[in-house]
Structures are given as C-alpha cells and as structure tokens.
A and B are shown apart, each in its own frame.
Chain A
C-alpha cells in the first residue's frame, strides 16, 4: 500500500513537472550551470546580505492578477500600500510578488517570453543592456514626467535612444567619516591617508579606512581610478559608452594602479577587508573612514556610530567620480497589460509620496527632484547627492560582465603582489579586449 501511495504521489508531481516544462523555455535548461546566486562582483551596488542564498530551482510563476509587480524583500513592503491603493481606486487586482533581487532579472528573462512573467519589475539600470538585448523590457514614454526627475536618472534609463524605466532612486558610494575619531572633513585624499595611518599606528583603530577588498571590488575602487584620470569605457557624444574604447590601461588607469599598489604597501588599504568586516569595523568604531553607499546607513545607524557622509576628497588633484546606479521600475515586454502597467509606474510611482515611501524603505536618495529636496536637509543624503553629482552612470552595456570578471582578478593579483600594479591592469585590459572582441 505504502509503495503504491508513493507512486501516485510521484505521478502527481510528474504531471506538474510536465506542466512546468511544457512552454518552450524551461526554467533551467542546464541545471548545474545556472545556480541562482548572484556573483558578488556582478552586482556590486548590492550589499551582500541582500543576496538571497537559496538553491531552489523552481521557476517563478506569475501571480493571478491584472497587474503583477516583482520586487525584492526591502521594497515589497513599501510598494504594497501603493499597489493596494491603485487596485482599490481603479477596480483592478494588483499583486506584488517578492523575489530575490538578482532573481528578478533572471526570472524576467526566463519567464517573460514564456508568458509567465510580471508586468512590472523593480530593477537597476545596469540590467538594461541584458534586458534590451534579450528583448524582454518595453520602452516607456517618459516625456510627460522627465522634467520632474533628476537628469542623470533619466539618462541612465535611456538605452539606444529609448527610455526603458521610471527611475525612483540613485545610489553611489561616498565617504563615511566617524566624527569622534576624525572630526574634520579631509580636504584631500592624501590628508585622509595620513589621518588614517596615524590612527592605525596609535592603535586607536584596527584599520584607518575600510572598503570591500576581499573579494576585490572594482565598483568601490572606481572613484580612485577616475580621480587619476582612468575610466572603464570612453563616453560617446550621445552620452552612451563605447565598448571599443577601454580605459583600464590608459595613462590615468595605470596611474591609479600604482596608487593601489602604494596603498597596499603602506597599509592604507587592507586586502583582507570583506563587506561584513567593513560594516563591523566602521560600525564598531574600529575604522575612522569607510567608502560605501547609502545601503550601509541602516547598519551603521543600528550600530550607533556617529558619522557624517561627504564626497570622497580629491585624489592627487583629481575629482573622484563614483559609479552612479539608478533604481527604477521597468515594464516587461511581455506584460499582459502594458497600458495598465504604464499607468501605475507613470502616475503612481512618480509622486513625491511614493518616492518618499521607497526612500524610507531602502534609504537610497529619490530620483524625483521634489522628493529628493524633501530629504536633502539630512546632511548625509546631501553628501551622497553631492558625491553622485560628480559621478558617472554605471555602464549598462552587456560587455560590463567581462569587465567585472577581469578587473576583479587584476585587483586580486595586485593586492597579493603576484603582478606589478601596471602589469595587473594591462593584463585585465588585454583579457577584456579578448573577451569582447
């Protein structure tokens, strides 16, 4: 009896499995090769804790509703009231489904064309390269609202002459300073290095300045590179990146490499600092400075450390330009209800209330100018805004995948002294050219 029961249970399962496989795009065509964790360096703007570590291979299936929104765990609660309000006011059913942040992108690519995807996703602008190339996001006409939004945010969501999303928040790294340990805003990076080293030598802190270096992190390192005149890809006249102009081994890039070598040598930069250690050290008063983004504020607030956020000071006379990432709402190319989806994102998510609610949820400065001004009296938000104003949008072109991979390796080799700094950057540049042809 038992055995037979089991067989029947299996049949039911089997039946469901056929259903899951029936559409032309099975969720995981080559199971072993597509684990769902996000590689850390591919999503550098996301704090590691947010990365969902789950090994479920189940395909995500669209909820039953007129309008389905996919969001991650921090944004879902903030979004829910607006979704409910929209649903009630317009007599439509709205569902907000919670997914891991990285799973939203992968899920849209797999489920969208199979007709199981959402109408709207929350996502980062640097996904656009992949999503547009795959044809899974729909353009949104922003001409009615773009005047109300920060220019750089709209620019970031522009790909190939079309706009693909309604931005709601900006994010970039800046300098956190422990105001007890280092009361004064450093005028230059050199001054910061001296203060950091002095505190380190006095034994007042474990490490003077901290930012993620294990694994090496080209995203957090980018302000130093740009201050020396280095860059990742050249900018074309229309404000888009040119993959054929790689700047990692440019004169400024190599200058930056030498600076990293020097910082390792002098002990300014410790290659053993992980993201978690950075949070622990700065939060616990064991570091005087930290370089990271607004997502870390909640952790530092919880730890109760007194801090202030300012732009990273000039390095060797050059202004650091961090990568600016833009978060926003995108509409699926396979949305069942595109007009309704557009109505929600254009009318409901561009209000000051909505953008402030999202700000409450994840502390990223709002992209709506009116909402940003409401929160800018917080000097720390203003600090991020100021740092971001000097920044450049993170490239969204698909070639960035090769850059993260090769550049991370180059920093690792540089940190360990396995290669001379210039050699490491030159090798990365060569690898990237080879990979993107």
Chain B
C-alpha cells in the first residue's frame, strides 16, 4: 500500500498499516488523532473549548437580557453541550468530524430556508414588524399628547434619598418644588440653599446632576406631579409639561378605547387594531401575524405581479443560459490557447486574465455603467458613435450579458485550465497515433473529459446567474422600462430584481412576506433545473468508470 503512494503525500507516515487513512482514523493510529493525546494537544483543545463555552455563556446571558424566546436558549445550550460531550469524550471519532458540518448545515442551510418559508406565510412588512405587545404599547405611547395650552416648566431633578421631586420654573419665572404627593409648593415658602443663584437644596431635597438623575431614570420617567389641571411629567430631564394619554388598552376586554372620540378598537386577525364600527379605521403600527397562503395567492392572482411575470421569467432563463454559455466558451477557448506551450508569457497573460475576477463587482459594475453612457461614455467616444448601450431594450440586454461575460470568464478560465491539465497526455498521444485530427481530439477527448469536471460548475453558474441581482441592479437597474406595463418593470429585469421592485420599492413600503414567497418560487425553479441537469449529465460521469 505505502509503496504505491505518491511521494510527498504527507498524510501517510511510513509506519501506517494497511487499510489507508480511514482505517488509521478508526484505529486512532493516525497522527491527527494521536495529536489529541499529547500535552500540547490537550491544552489547545481545552483552550478552544473554553473559548467556545465562554462565548456560549456570554450569548446566553445576552439572550436572557434581550428576552429571546426559550427555544433560542435551549438550542444554544444544547449545541454547546453536544460540542463539549463530543470533544471531551474519548472515542466517537467520526462524530468529531461530523458534528461541525452538521451544525453548519443546520445554521446556514436549514435555518435560513425554514425562516424564509415561515416569513412567506406571514404579513411581515411595512407596519407589521413588531409583536402585538410592542405595537399596542407604541399606540398608547403615541397617543400621549401635550394638553392644549398646557403650561411648560423648566425642570431640575431633586431627590431626598429615594424621595424624588422636581424644581419647576414656569414660563413667567415662578419657581416651585413639585412633589408627587404634595403637588406644587412655591420655593419662597421653603427652606432653600443656593450656590451662585442656583438652588442646590430645598426642603431637604438635593439637586441631582443629569448623570445622577439618569441613574434613577425609571423613577423619574414615572414621576407625576398632580396639579388642578392634571399631572406634570418630564418631557426631557430639563423640561416638564402636562400631558394626557388619549388611547388606553384594556387587557381585560382586549380592546383599546380612544378617550377623545369614544371609538373602540379591537385586534384583527390581520395584526391591526381596527375600529369596531368602521373597518377602514386602522391604527398604526400593527404586528406580524401568520396569514396562511395569502402571499402565494397574491403572487399568482394580482395583475400587477402576474402581468409582466412570464416576460421576466423568459428573460431570466435566457440571461442565465447566455451568461453560462458565453463565459464557458470564452473561458475554455482561452484555457486551451494558454495551455499550449508555444504561447509566450503564459504566466503573465494568465495573471492578467484573472483581474476582472479579483475586482469587486460593486465598483466595476458602476464603472461599466459610466463607460457605456451613450453620449459621454468612453466606449462610444473611442468608437466615435452613439450606440445606446443601456438605453435601447435589445442593446441593454446584450450589454448586460457582455458585462457579465467580463465578470464571469476568469472563473471559467481558471477551472477549465485546471481540468485541462488533469487530462492525461497519453490519451492525446494514442489519438495522434490513430490519426485523429486536432478537432477530433478536442471533440472526442478534451470536451467529454472536461465536461465531467465542468458540468456541476456549469449548473452552479446557471443557478448563480439565475439569481444574479448585483449585475442587473448595478448596471441597468432593470432599465430600460417596458412601455405599457401595468407595474414598473424593465426589459433587463430578472426575477430577483423584479421581486425586489415589487416587494421593497413599490406599494406602501416593504413587504417581506411577498418577497419570501417569490424567493421560494424562484428556489423551486432553480431546484428543478438543477435536478434535471444533474440527471442529464450523470451519463458523462460514466466516462470515468
């Protein structure tokens, strides 16, 4: 076994027995598994585990203070426990390798998908982001208004132990000590102590700095000083006025009463407080509720969404297909050319090829947009023409694919280069002996063997471009617009950019529920394509067997 091992394959120490790597790991004789038994290994392991545990404890404390749901706490605790058991225990070696992967699968694949799925069944969006409790609290809070013509006071927080008071100065300069039990007492009647004309103590109460008042902020927020017209409360830590709350929630009857109008509001199943006598009278904000399949029904039946949908879908497929074919063709051509030893300066050219891949899309897409400006762009200035690169519907589609080609070909070039080098030379030699032409060799050897490696990449590229929001949004923003459309939509809009417009930029604000719904539909489309294409390319892999 060890004799056939290529030199330099460091994983195999000369001493390892028959059965290879997997067997080594099972037996615990692999150097990696032995490392855990050395002193350094144990120290490192404990250090890292304690770091993880420390982080987990910090998290749990934070989650408790933020009032996170119980299952969040339970999940975190369980995950931490699993990690400790697996890595502290002897044996269970396969688990030591599998647990991280499984956890990441749960975190990055299962959770986001499940969450998106859940959102699709809610009305999460503008005006529906809070919980019911938060929303009702906000409605009550917003209904607190200053009384008309209410007197205003400059206020200074005072305290005598736990007993709080306010020094209040009215608009006409009268100074009172306001006390929650005794109301307003003119300071003239009190025993006051002043420093530099500032009252620092009155009737045993001492002036507080804002910082000291801040330390008892809850008590000061709740402080009410009764006078004939109502109650004085703080507006800020330096001013106070009379206010009243006009809407009050009654948890007993689950209704909210507006004291000014007498209207009664009750929670609806849409996550709003609605006037029981007038369904059109709804209060903001609302809260998030599960609305069942409503978003799906809406996506299929609303004219504004359905209208241009088919058009957009067709272009999405076309865009993804053209982008994939174009980048693959160019990448392959360049890879074959640069694979030929007769080309000089291959290393430099290869490096230069990768430049577009290395630059951030966010910058370069905007630069392309500038270069493609009809009247002032560099491209048209060089050509001495006024080509409507981004203004004409057809040209804009061509431009989007061209720029995407520029972004995408280096990736294909890199992968094709690697795949080409893995094709054994003796195949070509044998073909030459049999008298195959250059084209014949390419068609019968290079392409089939290349596709074995590249087919999954092509499928992934297709799926990526199917959802390539960045390039569309940054280069054309979906423009030019389609004349006569029922809803704003452009000739270069793909499904994902169209969804973005519908769910986030139109209507009465953001609609995450609808966005998640279309995301799921898009996912299904891509999943079907991927499944079909993988079945289609499966025979290719037979080549290698």
> Separation in Å of the A370 CB from the closest CB of chain B?
19
Given contacts A32-B496, A427-B484, contact A15 B59 (CB under 8 A): yes
| 28 A-B residue pairings within 8 Å (CB atoms) | A4-B35, A4-B45, A8-B48, A11-B48, A18-B107, A19-B55, A29-B512, A30-B515, A33-B516, A34-B504, A35-B473, A91-B210, A91-B214, A114-B66, A133-B284, A134-B129, A135-B139, A135-B285, A144-B152, A271-B391, A272-B376, A339-B221, A340-B236, A347-B236, A408-B488, A412-B480, A416-B480, A435-B304
- Residue from A24, A139, A410 with most neighbouring chain B CB atoms (10 Å): A24
Distance of A430 Cα from B487 Cα, bound (Å):
9
A302 within 8 A of B: no
Whether B239 pairs with A434 at a CB distance below 8 angstroms is no
Whether A26 pairs with B115 at a CB distance below 8 angstroms is yes
Which residues, 252 to 282 on A, are CB-close (under 8 Å) to B? 270-274, 276-277
Chain B residues with Cβ below 8 Å from A21 are: 72, 111
B483 within 8 A of A: yes
- Residue from B48, B131, B483 with most neighbouring chain A CB atoms (10 Å): B483
> Separation in Å of the B30 CB from the closest CB of chain A?
11
Whether B488 pairs with A405 at a CB distance below 8 angstroms is yes
Whether A272 pairs with B375 at a CB distance below 8 angstroms is yes
Whether A130 pairs with B487 at a CB distance below 8 angstroms is no
Given contacts A21-B111, A401-B508, contact A30 B116 (CB under 8 A): yes
Distance of A4 Cα from B99 Cα, bound (Å):
12
Whether A399 pairs with B107 at a CB distance below 8 angstroms is no
Give the B interface residue count (CB, 8 A): 114
Whether B210 pairs with A12 at a CB distance below 8 angstroms is no
With both beta carbons as reference points, the residue of chain A lying nearest to B243 in the complex is identified as: A141
With both beta carbons as reference points, the residue of chain A lying nearest to B116 in the complex is identified as: A30
Chain B residues with Cβ below 8 Å from A277 are: 373, 376
Whether A22 pairs with B66 at a CB distance below 8 angstroms is yes
B69 within 8 A of A: yes
Given contacts A135-B135, A347-B236, contact A398 B509 (CB under 8 A): yes
> Separation in Å of the A28 CB from the closest CB of chain B?
9
Whether B509 pairs with A130 at a CB distance below 8 angstroms is yes
Distance of A130 Cα from B474 Cα, bound (Å):
25
Question: Which of B140-148, B182-190, B249-257 touches A?
Answer: B140-148
Whether A14 pairs with B508 at a CB distance below 8 angstroms is no
Given contacts A162-B145, A431-B486, contact A18 B59 (CB under 8 A): yes
Chain A residues with Cβ below 8 Å from B477 are: 39-40, 215
Whether B112 pairs with A276 at a CB distance below 8 angstroms is no
Distance of A184 Cα from B76 Cα, bound (Å):
71
Residue from B32, B51, B138, B142 in contact with A12 in the complex, judged by beta carbons closer than 8 Å: B51
Whether B51 pairs with A4 at a CB distance below 8 angstroms is no
Chain B residues with Cβ below 8 Å from A431 are: 485-488
With both beta carbons as reference points, the residue of chain A lying nearest to B58 in the complex is identified as: A19
Whether B119 pairs with A29 at a CB distance below 8 angstroms is yes
Whether A436 pairs with B508 at a CB distance below 8 angstroms is yes
Distance of A12 Cα from B80 Cα, bound (Å):
10
Chain B residues with Cβ below 8 Å from A375 are: none
Chain A residues with Cβ below 8 Å from B170 are: none
Distance of A5 Cα from B32 Cα, bound (Å):
11
Distance of A149 Cα from B243 Cα, bound (Å):
22
- Residue from A33, A270, A338 with most neighbouring chain B CB atoms (10 Å): A33
Residue from B51, B112, B370, B376 in contact with A31 in the complex, judged by beta carbons closer than 8 Å: B112
Which residues, 322 to 340 on A, are CB-close (under 8 Å) to B? 333, 337-340
The A interface, classified by DSSP as helix, strand, loop or mixed, is helix
Give 1 or 0 for each of A343-379: 1 = CB within 8 Å of chain B CB: 1001100000000000000000000000000000000
Given contacts A272-B373, A333-B141, contact A30 B214 (CB under 8 A): no
Given contacts A11-B52, A133-B284, A141-B241, contact A406 B134 (CB under 8 A): no
> With A8-B52, A33-B496 given, can you name 7 additional A-B contacts, CB distance below 8 Å?
A1-B44, A12-B48, A12-B51, A19-B62, A22-B76, A33-B503, A416-B391
Whether B59 pairs with A19 at a CB distance below 8 angstroms is yes
B201 within 8 A of A: no
B445 within 8 A of A: no
B427 within 8 A of A: no
Residue from A23, A33, A34, A339 in contact with B237 in the complex, judged by beta carbons closer than 8 Å: A339
Given contacts A30-B116, A427-B483, contact A143 B52 (CB under 8 A): no
Whether B284 pairs with A11 at a CB distance below 8 angstroms is no
Chain A residues with Cβ below 8 Å from B484 are: 419, 427
Given contacts A418-B483, A435-B304, contact A139 B142 (CB under 8 A): yes
Chain B residues with Cβ below 8 Å from A37 are: 473
> Separation in Å of the A144 CB from the closest CB of chain B?
6
Whether B519 pairs with A32 at a CB distance below 8 angstroms is yes
Distance of A427 Cα from B62 Cα, bound (Å):
52
Which residues, 21 to 77 on A, are CB-close (under 8 Å) to B? 21-26, 29-35, 37, 39-40, 42, 53-55, 66
Residue from A24, A42, A136, A347 in contact with B505 in the complex, judged by beta carbons closer than 8 Å: A42
Distance of A138 Cα from B467 Cα, bound (Å):
38
